[in-house]
Amino acid sequence: MKELDDEKKYFKAIKKRDNFECQNPECRNRGKGKPVRLAVHYIDYDKKNINPWNLITLCLGCRIETRYKKEYSQYVYEEIVRLKYPNDWEHLKKKRLKVKD
Ligand SMILES: [Zn+2]
């Protein structure tokens, strides 16, 4: 139970980082003034990878779309995190370099 609570808190922190908004620039729910349900999406689809650079806030509609456009979504959302949170991105670069060794 404790772990679940921690996860909830962590995901809330990610949503806060993302200003409690869907981060899809083409989101159809954006700017309509309606409250939308938000979810935290794993950018590389690895649910064990809870590093902040791998997590992004999406509305439920946009999260469902990621299932059908996997490569495209991964590319777009990685770019968004890279541009918005360069400090998070540094960790990803390091990890990738390690993988190449
Ligand atoms: Zn959206």
Smallest Cα–Cα separation from 62: which of 84, 85, 38, 35? 38
Q: Would you say how long the chain is, in residues?
A: 101
CA–centroid distance, 89 to ligand 1, in Å, is 22
Distance 3 CA to ligand 1 centre (A): 28
Quote the ligand 1 centre to 62 CA distance (angstroms).
Answer: 4
Distance (Å) from CA 24 to ligand 1 centroid: 5
| pTM greater than the 0.75 cutoff | yes
- Examine the pLDDT at 58 and tell me if it is beyond 80: yes
**Is the pLDDT confidence value at 35 over 90?**
no
- Predicted confidence at residue 91, as pLDDT, reads 64
User: What angle (nearest 5°) sits at the alpha carbon of residue 84, between those of residues 50 and 75?
Assistant: 65
What's the confidence (pLDDT) of residue 19? Answer: 93
